[in-house]
Amino acid sequence: MNLTCSVLVLFISGFILSYFVEKYKIEFLKKMPKWFMEKIAWVADAKNSFWYIMMFIFLFNSISIFIYMLSAVTILGPLLIIIMTGLNIGIIIQEQPDLTEIGQIKSPNPIIAAYGLIVLFIEIFVFCFSLAMGLSMASQLLTSYSINRILALIGYRIWPYLFICVPLLIFSAFLETKAIKDTQK
């Protein structure tokens, strides 16, 4: 639980840093989140089917978060990923245009907002849980770093990831896709 709270604190720190990136116009830190938003826009296109969008969201989130957890083999990887993810999400939120102005959302809808809030909580939980497992692995690798140790530590983390994180990410992808499709009506 302490590691999960630590992940959340580091994530929020990165999120807060995004304010200063925007305020001082630090463009090189804004390139990746802007590129990501441009690439993601085509996935949410109204022409794409519900299942296509859902599978893309699920696969992207589950593979990314799993890789984030495995970044523990670099010892400092999880710390950097946590801060950079908070920073990137903060930049995306600040840079995102008002969707009602560009016609992607016909009108505000409290049900869609509820979907978004549920998705936010699920994805933040999965992110924090997975990165806490990664931080735990990194701390254990500090005392004994070997390929056998790495494989053993990864082995202990696969099952919690598969049985806790993956089902939550499937549900989250479903709700996120539902919100996307409902805004396109």
End-to-end CA distance of the chain: 41
pTM score, whole prediction: 0.88
Supply the range of the domain harboring residue 150: 2-183
Query: What pLDDT was estimated at residue 102?
Result: 42
| Secondary structure letter of residue 101 according to DSSP | T
Query: What pLDDT was estimated at residue 103?
Result: 46
Number of residues assigned to the chain: 185
How buried is 34 (Cβ within 10 angstroms: 0-12 exposed, 13-18 middle, 19+ buried)? middle
Query: What pLDDT was estimated at residue 108?
Result: 60
User: One-letter amino acid identity for 121?
Assistant: F
- Split the chain (185 residues) into runs of 10 and give each run's mean pLDDT: 89 95 93 85 88 96 96 93 94 70 56 88 96 95 94 96 98 94 83
Looking at the structure of the chain, the number of domains it has is: 1
